[in-house]
Every structure is written in structure tokens, then in C-alpha cells.
Structure 1
Amino acid sequence: MNPQALYALFAPLADDVRIDEPLKRHTSWRIGGPADVLVAPRDLESLQACIACAYDAGIPYFILGRGSNLLIRDGGIRGLVIKLGDAFSELRIEGQTLTALAGRSIVSAANRSMREGLSGLEFATGIPGSVGGAVTMNAGAHGGEIKDVLKDALVLTREGALKHVSSQDLAFSYRHSAVPENAWTVVRATFSLRAGDVMEMRERTGAWSQRRRLTQPLSQPNCGSVFRNPPGDYSARLIEAAGLKNTRVGDAMISDVHANFIVNLGAATAEDVLELMSRAQEAIQTRFAVELIPEVRVVGEAKTQG
């Protein structure tokens, strides 16, 4: 189905529907080819309708949150890209339970919980991305992970049906959940928190923030950590030990600040990034006999020549 036909099919289902939308506008790396059609649903019912319509018509679809931890290849994404934007940012707190829609920034959710004197999400104050993305990849930092505090989630199945899943149903492991294998779309997440001291939480997260400013290239477009940490070690240490800091392909460069970050110097392509990732993996395997496993998700098609 061509983009114009896709537009005609999905335009009645959402307020914002775009043809050939450059996805670099929607990723933290500022990299990514076009979507055939990008849809921003207005609410849950609109989202359900988009997914159900795509499923019934056999149209592939991809759910896009805040675009961190994501590399979209230069040929873009065929079919439908469904962006969970501001319409999916609602958050509420009842007692020691925080519930947020999937498009909410996980940093925002963590900061709100601290202001309310609730502890448990402090580790997420430095994690870019959405609540939905954080649940999908079991995001973590500073010794904490989503699995430690998630009570349950509301998901949409590939057919567009709503389903409640428990933390156990999500089968969490290191930077992984059962969401991708089941083709679920996280719509809402509920977290069980506990009472905490506001000043103590602010001091702890403030120290983490100061360390990030000193040790991460926050002023340059990036996706966060590119590779998972291997057991008992750190990817950044291995990449730096292999002498790969400042290695550059096109406008993509392994950061001189943090070796597990690849930054976009201005006009980097996905292929530039993939080549750097491949070089790092090959070097670490050869020198240390360690396999570097990507943490970043790679999606889309390579750009065709000519």
C-alpha cells in the first residue's frame, strides 16, 4: 500500500497524520530515514483503532515513543509508525502508587514521585525515554531497574485488544522484557513505591546528575549507552582500553567523554553508526574475547542506492 493510500486509511483515526515524515526529527540521535506514514493518536481509543486497522489490513506498524535507545536506518520504516506523544503523558499518584501513560518521560515520572515524597524511581532520573520504552527494555541505572518497582502494565496486543499484565508476566531480565516477543504495545504502567525522605533523594540524584554531566556527552545527540555491560565488566572500559575513543566514521564518533556513547557530530547516518558499532564489537572480541551486545534497538531499512 503506497503512502497516499495509507494516509487516506488512517487520517480519520488521528489528528496528526504525516506522509514521508523524517524520523530523525523524532529520535534523540537525530538520525533516521522517513516513515511511509506517521500517526500520532489523540487518545487510547484512537490508538486502538490504528493498531486494529493496521492488523486487519496486514500493514506493518512500529510504536515510537521519545526516540531514545533507538537507531532508525537511513531507508526509514515501511508501513505505519505510531508515535505516542503528549496525548499519552498523563500521570497520577494515589497513596504510594504511581500510574503513568506510556508517552510520559520516565525522568518526569521519577522527579514527580520524589516531589511527592515517594522513593523507588530515583534510578530513572537520568534515563532518557518514555515510560513505555523503559518498561519494554527494563531500563535501569545506579543499581535499580524497572522490574524492581513495576506492579503491572496495560498493553495492547498486536490485534489491538487491551490486556493487563503483571510484572511476572513481563518476564524481566537484564534490559529485556516479554513485550517485544509478544508484539505488545505498553499503554500504561503502575509502579509500587514507598515513603522516602525528599532531601535525601534530592541529594542522591543530584550527585548522580553531576556525575553524568562530567562523564557523559550530554550536549551532543546520542542514544545513551550503545552496548550492554558484559557480566562483571563495563563496555565503556573495554572500548576505551581498545583505543577506540574518538574513532569516527562520517559524522558519527565514539565519544571522547564516554566510550559507550556514539555521538552525532551533525550529519551522521545510521550506516555510520552501524559501522562504528561493528568496529567496536570486532575489536573487543579480538582483544578481550568478549562479545558486545547492543543495547540500542536497530530498526528500519537500509537506504537503497541510486
Structure 2
Amino acid sequence: MGNNSNIKPLQAALLERLPGTRVRERELLCEHTTFKIGGPADLFIEPTSMAELSFVLRTIHEQRVPVTVIGCGSNILVKDGGIRGAVVSVRQMMQIMDCNDNTLCIGSGFMLKDASEFAWKNSLTGLEFAIGIPGTLGGAVFMNAGAYDGEMSNVVTMVRAVDFEGHIKEYDASHLDFAYRHSIFHDNHEVIGEVVMTLEYGDKAAIKARMDELTAKRESKQPLEFASAGSTFKRPPGYFAGTLIEQTGLKGLSVGDAQVSHKHAGFVINTGRATAKDVLNLIQEVQRRVYDEHGVHLEPEVRMIGED
């Protein structure tokens, strides 16, 4: 365990309200990321509600332990040394709260794909674009995730979040500071707990047809059979990252078991037992060679966290 002497008192305080199955020591984070990479967390905590999330963050703050928050780990690379302090996963915050007509209120740990399917089953249109995006609803709002001409800013009307002292906040859409792959939560570092979306009623068959079309398109173009963190680089202005990487001749370039996908050059994949160091070295090599050839700097979309 890390050097933080407050881990044991924190664990004891959390166990006063949470079961031991949701407060675990030395949890390997490779089991909680889509890259299947990452060392241990000193303490891994899974709240299931806004009240528990508030309690957990307040208790961590009182014990002066550093905290990292994750969802299903679909847009992060956890380094091989793992993460010191507490890791809070919102993955179990999956409740569907009161749904009024075309408005959905859903916990931030609910998978985005499942939210898209829930909308379709209720004849609601507006979330079709999200059917193939890996990750949780909270992560999608945090990143303002988007694909195929849709993005979260088009449908989110309100977010409930918790700050690191345990205070619950509410934000309507006009205060979420949405931009390309950005929201206010990049700046205020509060933790998204619940998301309210307003959709439109539509034709159920047409909604499903659009979802099937986007799923087929994604499966044909993306290396979904391998572990990855999704699209590795942000789109540089005026370019597509995958096209630049392919034009530089880097498809198939490997460092250890980390590889630039043959199927889509914008994806770095884990072909077996890649380490975070392998992935980081490969990303840096891709950045260097694309810059040398095209003069364009590729900025990672994947967040790197933890210790070497």
C-alpha cells in the first residue's frame, strides 16, 4: 500500500456505512479499465447513490487522502504503478430515477450504450449517436462525448454533481460550459452523480434502424475485438488524427503488446499484455513521427493517470 498513513482510518470510516465488498484494498485497476491495463489502487470504493457518493467524498476529504474518480475506465490509461490514495468508481450508480414523458434522469454509472437502448425502447430519439460509444453516462457528459453528428450537449438539460467536500450541486445546461470534448467538470473537478436528458418522441422502428446502421458502421471501422481506450487522439483542427497516422505509415506500429490498429489508425490497442509504459511510448512515437511529417501535434484524448 502507498505511503499515505490515512488509508486505514479512511477505510474504517467508510466501512461504518458501506459494505466491505464495496471498499477494497489493493484493487488492480486493469480490471476496471477498457484498456485492461493499470496497477493497484490503495483503496477502491464503489458508491451506489448520490447520498453515498456525498458521504464517500466528504469522508475522504476529512481524512486528507488524495482521490481519483473513474467510471468504467473507457477513456483512461492507468499507469503501471497504480494510483495512490482512494479511487472512487461511480460504475455502480446505475439507477434510473423518475422519468417524465421525454425526460430521463439516470445515474452517472449507467452505460451510455444502455441509455441509448433504454431511449429506443421508450420511443425516444436523440441518443442514437451514443449506441457505440464506450463508457458511462457520467464520463460521456464529462467529455461531451459525441459521434456521427451527435453529442451529449444536444440532449443534457441538467446535471447533479458532488464536490470533494461532499456538497451536492445542480447545473442546468447553460452552466455546463460544453465545448468539443469539454465540460465544466474539467475545470471544477466535481463528480457527476446524476444526468437529466430531454429527448424527442420518434418512430421506434426508425430509431432502431439508425442505431443498427451506426453499430454496423462502427464495427466495420473500429478494432472492437481488442482492448483499447477508444479513440486515442483528439481531432486536430482541419484534420483527422487517424488519417494523419495512416498517411505517416504507422498502422501496425508496435511497442511491446501496444499497437496502432491495422483497422483504424486512430486507435492504440492492447493485443495481449501491454503495459502502460508500452502504450505511452507508442503514443509518443506516433506524436513525434506525425509532427515530423505533417507539422501537426496530436493531443491525446485518453487521460493518463497514476504512477509509473
Which of the five TM-score ranges fits, normalised by the shorter chain? over 0.9
- 1:43–1:301 CA distance, 2 compared to 1 (3 A): same
* More deviation, 179-188/81-90: 81-90
Q: Which residue of 1 aligns with 2:150?
A: 144
- Check if 1:68 corresponds to 2:97: no
Q: Equivalents in 1 of 2:18, 2:267: separation in Å?
A: 36
SS of the aligned residue for 2:131 comes to helix
Superposition RMSD on alpha carbons, in Å? 1.3
AA aligned to 2:167 is A
Q: Equivalents in 2 of 1:198, 1:232: separation in Å?
A: 36
- Check if 1:12 corresponds to 2:16: yes
1:123 to 121, 125, 129: 129
Q: Equivalents in 2 of 1:84, 1:130: separation in Å?
A: 9
Q: Equivalents in 1 of 2:229, 2:218: separation in Å?
A: 14
AA aligned to 1:11 is L
Q: Equivalents in 1 of 2:13, 2:99: separation in Å?
A: 37
Q: Equivalents in 1 of 2:209, 2:94: separation in Å?
A: 30
Q: Which residue of 2 aligns with 1:226?
A: 232
- The answer on whether the counterparts of 1:222 and 1:264 sit within 8 Å (CA) in structure 2 is yes
* More deviation, 131-140/48-57: 48-57
- Cα deviation 1:272-293 (Å, max 9, x = unaligned): 1111111111111111111111
Taking structure 1 as the reference length, the TM-score comes to 0.95
- The answer on whether the counterparts of 1:179 and 1:185 sit within 8 Å (CA) in structure 2 is yes
Q: Equivalents in 1 of 2:88, 2:99: separation in Å?
A: 27
SS of the aligned residue for 2:16 comes to helix
* More deviation, 250-259/9-18: 9-18
Structure 1 gaps of 5+ residues are: none
Report the Cα offset of residue 9 of structure 1: 3.3
SS of the aligned residue for 2:36 comes to coil
List structure 1 runs of 4+ shifted beyond 6 angstroms: none
Q: How does 1:86-125 map to 2 (within 5 A)?
A: 86-125=92-131
AA aligned to 2:239 is D
Q: Equivalents in 1 of 2:39, 2:125: separation in Å?
A: 40
SS of the aligned residue for 1:154 comes to strand
Q: Equivalents in 2 of 1:262, 1:178: separation in Å?
A: 28
2:63 to 54, 57, 60: 57
Report the Cα offset of residue 5 of structure 1: 4.1
AA aligned to 1:9 is A
Q: Which residue of 1 aligns with 2:263?
A: 257
Report the Cα offset of residue 41 of structure 1: 1.7
SS of the aligned residue for 1:63 comes to strand
1:282 to 270, 284, 288: 288
Report the Cα offset of residue 153 of structure 1: 0.3
- Cα deviation 1:30-56 (Å, max 9, x = unaligned): 001100000112432222111001112
- The answer on whether the counterparts of 1:21 and 1:34 sit within 8 Å (CA) in structure 2 is yes
Taking structure 2 as the reference length, the TM-score comes to 0.95
Q: Equivalents in 2 of 1:191, 1:114: separation in Å?
A: 14
- 1:190–1:248 CA distance, 2 compared to 1 (3 A): same
- The answer on whether the counterparts of 1:252 and 1:265 sit within 8 Å (CA) in structure 2 is yes
SS of the aligned residue for 1:212 comes to helix
- Check if 1:161 corresponds to 2:156: no
AA aligned to 2:299 is I
Structure 2 gaps of 5+ residues are: none
Q: Equivalents in 2 of 1:52, 1:5: separation in Å?
A: 14
- The answer on whether the counterparts of 2:49 and 2:93 sit within 8 Å (CA) in structure 1 is yes
Percentage of pairs with the same residue: 37
* More deviation, 2-11/234-243: 2-11
- Cα deviation 1:184-218 (Å, max 9, x = unaligned): 10000111111111111211221111111111111
- The answer on whether the counterparts of 1:122 and 1:201 sit within 8 Å (CA) in structure 2 is yes
- The answer on whether the counterparts of 2:9 and 2:63 sit within 8 Å (CA) in structure 1 is no
- The answer on whether the counterparts of 2:106 and 2:194 sit within 8 Å (CA) in structure 1 is yes
